[in-house]
């Protein structure tokens, strides 16, 4: 029988990529928990080889005990936007503890990193959806890798978000305009296909990644890098425009009930006093990337290490655009951004 991998968050953008590649490898059976096996995201996985779906609530102790029984490995990507930072930390740690109790052999956690720690916890860089996952990675670093091995994949914004929400607009002259409040910073984008490939490498090579926190990215891309890549691949004129951060945040989250002042995770815990607003959260988010230009500053990557692990990885924005057929056309990548309850 094939070893079984439980993929928490398997119906999201990241999880779907991981499930698909695990299935394509034909080396693993994959179990995906979901609140509804009839959702469009769940249905898209049903026909994949060696993939099964199970209705469960991953924020419920009884369901977690059932999910982690009789599996060999797991990939955990919790949804901090749905539950808020404090609950993401709590439930991620409980998942680790329950998995270890149930005899899981390898616990792979999908994390992010927080710039405020590297900046002496400067609140200017505080971003709850980065920090929640990063604090779980800090917890894992204090845990033994026996009897349950653990590994961390530390990623960043998906390259695919250049289709939504970071899609370009067309100006009156037909030029494509990429607007970010990035100044001269850079975003360590990662394409989802390669993120999944690093996860597969971890499951295939548990000893090589025992206790490893692997920070991955395709390229530290500035706004200028993105615009130039677009022109080089499509032949269409493009430019980058730095925009005012506060105006950008107001516009980006205008569809939410209280706009950018809506609190992250409010549907899960309505009276939680620690929740950040979208404005507060993404102010820190963009400030972190503004301070990471040129693979220096707050967020850095060891690209030589990444080349060694995955020689076939996509290495630039332009290469991703060419191989993915990117045209700048809007295309939904993430789940509905107004949806605040996790699957």
Domain boundaries, the chain: 4-324
Say if CB 129 and CB 288 are below 8 A apart: no
pTM summary value: 0.95
Strand (E) or helix (H) holding 203: helix 192-204
Note whether 136 and 111 are within 8 A (CB): yes
The distance of Cα 149 from the centroid of its chain, to the nearest Å, equals 22
Gap between the Cα atoms of 274 and 264, Å rounded: 10
Q: Which residues of 296-333 are buried (b: 16+ CB within 10 A; e: fewer)?
A: ebbbbbebeebeebeeebbeebbbbbeebebebeeeeb
CB 31 within 8 A of CB 52: yes
pLDDT in tens, the chain (343 residues): 999 999 999 999 999 999 999 999 999 999 999 999 899 999 999 999 999 999 999 999 999 999 999 899 999 999 999 999 999 999 999 999 999 999 999 999 999 999 999 999 999 999 999 999 999 999 999 999 999 999 999 999 999 999 999 999 999 999 999 999 999 999 999 999 999 999 999 999 999 999 999 999 999 999 999 999 999 999 999 999 999 999 999 999 999 999 999 999 999 999 899 999 999 999 999 999 999 999 999 999 999 999 999 999 999 999 999 999 999 988 777 655 434 333 3
Give residue for tokens 């206790």: 211
| CATH fold group of domain 4-324 | Rossmann fold (3.40.50)
Q: What are phi and psi of 240, to 5 degrees?
A: -105, 135
Instruction: Using the structure block, give the residue that is written with the tokens 């209705």.
Output: 55
| Residues ≥6 apart with Cβ < 8 Å to 266 | 84, 272, 275, 340
């Amino acid at each position: 029988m094939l070893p079984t991998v439980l993929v928490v968050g398997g119906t999201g953008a990241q999880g779907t990529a991981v499930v698909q590649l695990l299935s394509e490898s034909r080396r693993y059976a994959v179990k995906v928990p979901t609140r509804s096996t009839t959702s469009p995201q769940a249905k898209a996985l049903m026909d994949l080889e060696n993939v099964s779906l199970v209705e469960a609530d991953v924020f419920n102790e009884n369901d977690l005990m059932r999910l982690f029984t009789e599996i060999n490995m797991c990939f955990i990507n919790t949804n901090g936007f749905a539950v808020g930072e404090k609950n993401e930390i709590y439930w991620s740690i409980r998942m680790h503890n329950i998995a270890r109790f149930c005899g899981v052999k390898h616990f792979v956690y999908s994390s992010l990193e927080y710039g405020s720690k590297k900046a002496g916890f400067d609140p200017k860089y505080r971003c709850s959806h980065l920090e929640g996952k990063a604090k779980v990675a800090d917890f894992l670093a204090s845990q033994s890798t026996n009897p349950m091995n653990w590994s961390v994949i530390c990623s960043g914004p998906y390259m695919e978000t250049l289709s939504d929400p970071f899609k370009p607009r067309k100006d009156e002259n037909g030029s494509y305009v990429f607007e970010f409040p990035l100044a001269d910073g850079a975003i360590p984008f990662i394409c989802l296909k390669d993120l999944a490939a690093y996860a597969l490498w971890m499951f295939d090579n548990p000893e090589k990644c025992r206790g490893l926190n692997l920070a991955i990215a395709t390229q530290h891309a500035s706004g200028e890098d993105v615009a130039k890549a677009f022109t080089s691949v499509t032949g269409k004129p493009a430019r980058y425009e730095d925009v005012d951060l506060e105006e950008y945040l107001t516009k980006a989250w205008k569809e939410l009930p209280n706009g950018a002042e809506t609190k992250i995770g409010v549907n899960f815990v309505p009276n939680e006093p620690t929740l950040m607003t979208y404005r507060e959260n993404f102010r820190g988010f963009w400030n972190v990337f503004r301070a990471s230009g040129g693979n220096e500053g707050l967020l850095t990557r060891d690209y030589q290490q990444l080349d060694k692990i995955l020689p076939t990885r996509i290495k630039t924005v332009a290469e991703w655009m060419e191989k993915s057929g990117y045209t700048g056309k809007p295309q939904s990548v993430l789940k509905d951004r107004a949806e605040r309850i996790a699957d």
